[in-house]
Structure 1
């Protein structure tokens, strides 16, 4: 089992590095065409500046418009007990922070990183999943915090945006050169034109591929943290049943075409479930709990007071 985890982690890490290298190369193309080596340095300098400024902003600002509130331990004791175990196994030293978003949507996401961050879950998710399934979802988000995936995806998004802007400037410059090309004073730079034509779309596809890679890795880490891959697989099956209905109705019952997967930020749910269940088959049998959680009983969550924009901006929520 450990060898399988190690091999999959290595594969995901290599894919991660190759995708980031591809994004960097695509960003370098318009930078070089615009200003040579200086343009490349300038482009990567903007990426570094964006990451630095983004790291200075409190990650909880991402929750400012969601009407989220910080759940205290007495308001969600079961979930905090799960988080304490997951943080310990993940080696995270910070105090767990759990936020509740008052919406019926089924969603969970991580904000910030291992140093200063937390996990937000929606009220709809707590009403739909049982505690074991929620543990798998929380472990997935803890993995995102552990590996700083929000920062990684922020860097990838910045590189893609700069590639798009740089390609636009190069195309604008080529358009301004068109009269001289028609007059025979300059040759049409077909190679450069081809590169900048495909750079934005290729960079976007690589960014989406990176997102799918990080989701697969978070699934794998969640299985290791909970030691129960079937918990996350079960949660994904429930989420797919509820959220996959819109796509089925849109396509009139047909399966989405294979190319549609390239435009998704998450891997196909059936593939994620298949991988997790394959890991679960190699797990030793789980010991029955002396006090099993009954899925039909809802979690006793006391909804927190939503914080105002001023609270999110100027101070860290008090525990």
Structure 2
């Protein structure tokens, strides 16, 4: 896996932009819940909101990565399964400075996809059969680097925190709407004034939260792409992989499996950025005078006894589709 010199100025510019957007978006979620608390009960409401978020973070039940892997039916790859992929994962994890190498798991589904569970202390990367058969080793290295970057950047924790703040905000907004409706007859009887700013904020808070979370998800995807290019020294490898995924026709089942991944919805309603923009950012990291290797045709050597999945993704008893 050769390291190639990147456009450092462009890389730093993208990195600073992604970091600034992430801080701004998480801060916006916090300001929104604080604003609701202020309108409901002044400073007491703000303090109560902070306590509620802290308690939810501290005592929220966490789902074990093993449980998620069992729900999907993913199988851990043994030390002798896909040795070249295992070696690439170890090398990328070492370059990323992870304390442990992510475990590789195989999911027998024809849909090409990869996802990560766990944290930097213990994580697992799931690779589908469709992905392993579609990607070359070079392209797969870019995808592995992308998933490892998610682990190193604590993106799962960041998105989990955003989700907790969003749930607290929604709960407070719902409670506020109920209280306003209950007190409305008494307010009208006393000819009191209706707190219209509070009403508007309570009704608008849940969709605003959703839009902020979607934007945060897209920002973290951009940052993972950037760090993946830095880990492999080969932004074109990941760009080629993204181009292949773009050519894949998702059909009905992928829209159920991974809604929002690639659909005609406006960009603000997507969980992932548009692939064209991701590819453009990756290629902008290329030095004008740097010759990158051409795309390798060498594919992952799957064991002969691994039969190609013949089934279509379907609903499972776990409630998941794959």
Same fold (TM over 0.5): yes
Q: TM-score, normalised by structure 2?
A: 0.83
RMSD (Å) for aligned C-alpha atoms: 2.6
Other-structure match for 1:312: none
User: Who is 1:299 aligned against?
Assistant: 302
Alpha-carbon distance in 2 for matches of 1:283, 1:140 = 25
Mapping of residues 42-121 of structure 1, within 5 Å: 42-53=48-59, 57-121=63-127
1:212-251 → structure 2 map (5 Å cutoff): 212-243=218-249
Residue 128 of structure 1 deviates from its aligned partner by: 1.1
5+ residue gaps, structure 2: 1-6, 256-262, 307-322
Q: Which piece of structure 1 moves more, 177-186 or 163-172?
A: 177-186
Q: Does 1:27 pair with 2:45? A: no
Deviation beyond 6 Å, 4+ runs, structure 1: none
Greater fraction of residues in helix: 1
Cα separation, 2, equivalents of 1:283 and 1:215: 28
TM-score scaled by length of structure 1? 0.83
Instruction: Tell me if the contact between 1:94 and 1:116 (Cα under 8 Å) persists in the aligned partners.
Output: yes
From 171, 192, 200, the counterpart of 1:194:
200
Greater shift, 185-194 or 76-85, is seen at 185-194
In the comparison of the two structures, how many residue pairs are matched? Answer: 292
Instruction: From the superposition, tell whether residues 139 and 195 of structure 1 become closer, same or farther in structure 2 (CA, over 3 Å).
Output: same
Distance 1:190 1:55, change over 3 A: closer
For residues 246-265 of structure 1, the aligned pairs below 5 Å read 256=264, 260-265=266-271
Query: Gapped runs of 5+ residues in structure 1?
Result: 250-254, 304-319
Deviation of 1:103 after TM superposition, in Å, equals 1.3
Q: Is the 8 A contact 1:104 1:122 kept in 2?
A: yes
CA deviation digits over 1:62-97, x for unaligned, max 9? 222100111122112111111111011111121331
